Every structure is written in C-alpha cells, then in structure tokens.
Amino acid sequence: MKYDQLKAQQNQGNVFYDFQEGDIKFPPSYRYKRGSRDDYVYIKYKTTGNVHNVPSYCDRVLLHSLPQLKQTQTGYFSNLQYKASDHAPVIATYQVSTRLQYVSSKSTDTENENDDSLKIRFPILQAKIKTNSPDRFCVKFFSYLLEGTPTSKPAPRVLAEYDDELSHFPVQYGLSKCDVSYWGAADIPELEPILPNRDYISNDYIFIQVVSHGSEECYGQGILTMQDKVKTDTLQPFSVVLRLHDEVCGELRGKVCLSRNPVLENRSLFTDQLINLTGLATCRLAPEVWLPPERGPQGPRPAVDLSTGLMSTQMIMF
C-alpha cells in the first residue's frame, strides 16, 4: 500500500477529506479472471489497443460521520466466493453510535429550562477560502434547530497570507494564499432555536455554507457541533474545516455562544497590543483573529499579513 493512489490523494486533501478506512489485509480485488479467484488477468484486449492492469485495490469502503459520533470497524474483507465479475466484492462492517433523541427532563436547574430569550450568537467569523472568485461571500446556517435558513450580510474581502500557525490542518492542502472574509456581530443574524433549551441545542449540529453573494454558489461547507459550545453564556472559540466536493477548500473560525443578551462589540473581544504608533498605525493584534478596521479618511482599510499579525497597506482587494 506504499504507492496507493487513493491514500496519496487523501493525504494531500484532494479527495475524501476526513474519511476513514480500515487496514487492508485482503488481496487486490481487481483484475481477476472471470470464473476464478486464483488467477489475475494483466492484459485487457480492446479494439483501440491493449490495456495492462496490474492487480489493484480498486474496490474500497470508506466511512465518514458527524463529529463526535463513535464508529468502530469490525470487519474489512473481500468476498472470493463471488466469481461472476473481474472485481471481487469488498465488504466492511461497523458498529456505529447514533444521536440520542432529546427527551426533556424535570430539572430544577434554571439554566436548562426553556427560555425564549436564548439565542445562538456569533460575534465574529473569519473564513479563509481557496478561490480566485472576485465575489463577496455570505454565511448560511442550516440546522434542525432553526426555522428557515439565516444568512449573513456580504463580507469585505482581503487577500492575505494564510495563518498556518492557527490552522487545524496541514499547509500542504494548498492554502498558502487565500481569500479572507470577515463578519462582525452586526453582519451575522442571531439564530433563534425552535426549542430554546441548552440541553436540546447541545445535542445537535449547525451545517454552515460560505456562498457567493447574489448567485449563492457554494465555495465551502462544514459542520459545527454544538456540544460543549452552549452550556454557559461564555463565548467559545471554534474552527471548522471547509470542504467542497470532498476536497479541503478553506477554514471557518470564530466564536459562538448561547446567551440571553447580545454580545459586546466584537473589537472588545480581543486585546490589541500596540507596537508602533508612528506614521500609519502598525499594531499586533491578539493571535486569535484579526478584525479589519473601517475605511477612514486616510484611505482604504489596510491589508494584513496573517503570518505575523502586522497590518500594512499592501495587497488590498475588495
């Protein structure tokens, strides 16, 4: 399996990102002589020319599930009894956990009581997307928790270096330079759950899409698990890998909370450490996320080198 093409493409993030496969301990499933499982056929004769096929693992079973659901592979083998095809069927068996249905409990804990003022709030979001599109992007939220499909306002764009140190996946996925979009609290709608109960919400997920403003073409999507994110009013950081057609195409980072009251102005969530105030303001922001300042009388908002956290006036794109 050292030269297996599927494994090589998975490791580069080109196909089936985050899909799991068990250890292969059976012989190559292709290309057998029909009616036999003792001999491989190396040459396929065609009118357009002969094709050489070395024995290969062309038949595979891969698994992908929602986050934090446990699955255990109990078997992975080929069926050598079926001989009608030049492929040997491959079978995998699993033990898979399921989501528990929410059942309301008679609890005296007021934090778990239904409260219509509870809302899911995102004070800030940052998307890094591998794209050449000039479009501005919006964020759409899908979930059984919600009525309808809340959508953010279109975000400003900055072309910047990718922040490898803050990334949760390797740099070899080709995200060295990305489109970076930012949304503040005023850009993101407050999400109203159908059942405003912390236990109910923590048992579910929010499916997030980054789409083009206007055409709504999808440029990346991921899943945010709400478990351990909404137990208290405290803001919780999160990071979601964005995928498109099972390829890694970016990352969405931000903070989320379930609270009764609106969160503070997003800039107050991060502490600025001023480095130099001469000329154009040059400052290092908190390493969690950079929020671009508004356009002012001095000119357009500055771009930022996310690898260093330093603002500059170079490489600006909107």
Element spanning 9, H or E: helix 5-11
Residue for token pair 């003022």: 117
pLDDT at 154: 94
HEC profile for 139-184? EEEECCCECCCCECCCCCEEEEECCHHHCCCCHHHCCCEEEEEEEE
Sheet holding 310-312, edge to edge: 273-276, 282-284, 310-312, 303-305
pLDDT tens figures, 31-75: 999 899 999 998 888 888 888 888 999 999 999 888 878 889 999
Cα 80 to Cα 123: distance, rounded to the nearest angstrom: 57
With a CB cutoff of 8 Å and minimum separation 6, the contacts of 39 are 32, 33
pLDDT at 151: 96
pLDDT (mean) for 92-118: 68
Q: Please tell me the pTM assigned to this model.
A: 0.69
Cα 43 to Cα 145: distance, rounded to the nearest angstrom: 55
**In whole angstroms, what separates CA 315 from the centre of its chain?**
27
Bridge partners for 93 per DSSP: 75
Terminal alpha carbon distance of the chain? 46
**Percent of the chain surpassing pLDDT 90:** 35
pLDDT (mean) for 213-237: 89
167 has a pLDDT exceeding 60: no
pLDDT at 108: 44
pLDDT tens figures, 106-152: 554 455 566 778 899 999 998 988 887 878 899 999 999 998 999 99
Would you call 76 helix, strand, or coil by DSSP? strand
Q: What are phi and psi of 33, to 5 degrees?
A: -75, 130
Residue 96 pLDDT class (50, 70, 90 cuts):
confident
pLDDT at 40: 92
Written as one letter, the residue type at 146 is: L
Cα 159 to Cα 165: distance, rounded to the nearest angstrom: 18
Q: 157-161 and 90-96: which strand pairing?
A: unpaired
